[in-house]
Structure 1
């Protein structure tokens, strides 16, 4: 019997009510608005500078400035920016590797 590597057809799913569909669309729109815009909001709030090393950025290298979530929760994006800090890619990488090293040294999984 030949195998097919094409997309699988989904099993039949019962039709949702219009109210359920409206709620789903509302949730998806809210989720899309948050994560997409938190970088822009953080850049406006905290400026185009790395909070750790102090390196300043301009339009030509702004892609090297990232947003670090202080508590590690990428879904927690308060409008006041209290969970964000702008870090260059090098400091951001260092921040995460320090957490991994600490977990390793404390024998956490």
Structure 2
């Protein structure tokens, strides 16, 4: 019985708050007619941005290829398609043919792995071709043997 009375007091308090608010006021809501020019501008801007988005090579690749990683075969949906990336097979990001022959869809993990393998291979090729990069030129222990000889 006690909890029922406290609930009635609580609900009465809530009811008074709503009655005092604008929801139950006697004043009419201000009517505002939509500005057709502004709405037309917003719709035109949305269409323009959609067309620009559809022109990107990522959107083209997502339309051409199935949403599956080319390496690990993981499938993607609209919920996680942001994890699917476009990989350029020849590693030239300016080579974007309309038929998508230079692209493959990879998940972010396989894409990162592919680029690290590419960098590792190019590093090995530079070392074997004789164009080695020189390391540090300073040798901190150059005179160590002479210093130790003097102490004996």
TM-score range, shorter chain: 0.5 to 0.7
- 1:8-57: CA deviation from partner (whole Å, max 9, x where unpaired): xxxxxxxxxxxxxxxxxxxxxxxxx69x5111110111111101110000
Cα distance in 1 between the residues matched to 2:124 and 2:94: 28
The answer as to 2:77 corresponding to 1:54 is no
Cα distance in 2 between the residues matched to 1:46 and 1:98: 24
Correspondence for 1:82 among 94, 101, 117: 101
> Structure 1 regions of 5+ residues with no counterpart?
1-32
Question: Highest Rg: 1 or 2?
Answer: 2
Q: Which has the higher contact order (CA 8 A, sep 6+)?
A: 1
What are the within-5 Å matches in structure 2 for residues 15-94 of structure 1? 37-94=56-113
Q: Report the RMSD for the aligned CA atoms in angstroms.
A: 2.2
Q: Which has the higher helix share?
A: 2
Cα distance in 2 between the residues matched to 1:78 and 1:103: 25
Q: Please report the TM-score for the alignment, with normalisation by the length of structure 1.
A: 0.64
What displacement does 1:62 show? 0.5
Runs of 4+, deviation exceeding 3 Å = none
Aligned residue pair count: 77
